Structure 1
Amino acid sequence: MSGKIIFFEGRNFQGLSYECISDCSEIASHLSRCSSCRVESGTFMVYDQPNYTGQQYLLTTGEYPEYQNTIGFNDCIQSCRVVPVHKGPFKLRIYEKDNFEGQMHELTEDCDSIQDHYHMSDMQSCNVMEGYWLMFEQPNYEGRMFYLRPGKYKNLREISSDDVRFNSIRRITETV
């Protein structure tokens, strides 16, 4: 099962609603705005801009009656992606420089501080080999988060509109 999320125009699940069971690049084509949501099953990455851009946040099963305060979005959710369930090992290689150069470390578990554990001054590229991951701009899984699917990311600066540095990484498991 992939998941199910219901978006509502008003806070506290009021007004028109839109039910979503797959990726949606533009919620505004279904609702004039989205001010609350309920994740009935699965895990979703939500974005404050259309086409999976802007600030992002991971939502798990539960109710979000006024999510702006909870997740820190200034405006409403504009797009969402289903995060598939990954059963099996997790594997990610991080590199100090872009284009997979410089120091390299392979991760199979969460890392609460890249600087403390790997003594890397920066992380500018990575290769997600297995599983789905969240990168955070601050240690201890705090600050803005960024969703990583399997694939090669030769320049992590391209996934953010500003010059964000990544300082911690967590696997997306069913119990995040």
Structure 2
Amino acid sequence: MSSYLSRCNSCKVESGCFMVYDRSNYTGNQYFLRRGEYSDYMRFGLSDSIHSCRLIPQIIFYEDRNFQGRSYETSSDCPELTSYLSRCNSCRVESGCFMVYERPNFMGHQMLVRRGEYPDNQRLMGMSMSDCIRSCRTIPMHRGQFRMRIYERENFSGQMHELMDDCDSIQERYRMSDCQSCNVMDGHWLTYEQPQYRGRMIYLRPGEYRSMRDMGMGPMDMRIGSIRRIMESC
């Protein structure tokens, strides 16, 4: 904070959720802040003025549409929402970015949700077979280079190409008939079913994906048509 202010003794959170610290580099005593006004740092337990802060991803799930029924709030990955709610038919993202999935363990149809309100999951997920969210994954902020390798066939075989930026059509740019495995070295990416970033999507974070099943889809569920970096902080 000292790069911008000589001291910081009060703050107002306009939107989102933050953790504030009474030392630099996210150390010392800390306090979680939601939207609201905080007129005196001493009231929330810090021994000194605010010296650093960090955005905290926050999402709230509701059993029924329009934010009704019981709710569950989280800032981290959740492989099985039914451990907390019998169903989930709406959600509200307070801060950050999340990927939500129609099946447990980050499988099935998925959708990126940014800060905002989503009163009806059937409209959000774009499907009629299942309108409930079963799992979610937080998308961390990434600063630095982006790099991934895509392969035409499973188990890193066939044609291979390396990406460091967005690709609006892998068929046109690389003349690849298909993309069935990949290795994400740096950054977080979204793959889309169709060119020009349209259709269903798959979230990929750093790691090896030997098949479409490793990416969270069955081998016949989806083909990859375009790929985009997740660059915004949401």
Q: TM-score, normalised by structure 1?
A: 0.92
Mark the runs of 5 or more structure 2 residues left unpaired by the alignment: 1-54
SS in 1 for 2:123: helix
1:66 is aligned, of 111, 120, 130, to 120
RMSD: 1.6
Mark the runs of 5 or more structure 1 residues left unpaired by the alignment: none
Residue in structure 2 matched with residue 95 of structure 1 by the alignment: 151
Alpha-carbon contact 1:34-1:78 (below 8 Å) kept: yes
Residue in structure 2 matched with residue 76 of structure 1 by the alignment: 132
Mapping of residues 19-168 of structure 1, within 5 Å: 19-73=73-127, 74-156=130-212, 158-159=214-215, 160-163=217-220, 164-168=222-226
SS in 2 for 1:16: strand
Extract structure 1 runs of 4+ deviating beyond 6 A. none
Alpha-carbon contact 1:2-1:22 (below 8 Å) kept: no
Residue in structure 2 matched with residue 170 of structure 1 by the alignment: 228
Letter aligned with residue 182 of structure 2: C
Cα separation, 1, equivalents of 2:64 and 2:159? 48
CA deviation map 1:31-87 (0-9, x unaligned): 111111000011101111111111111111111011311331432101101111111
CA deviation map 1:108-127 (0-9, x unaligned): 11111100111111112211
Give the number of equivalent residue pairs.
176
% identity of equivalent residues = 60
Q: TM-score, normalised by structure 2?
A: 0.70
**How many angstroms does 1:157 deviate by?**
5.1
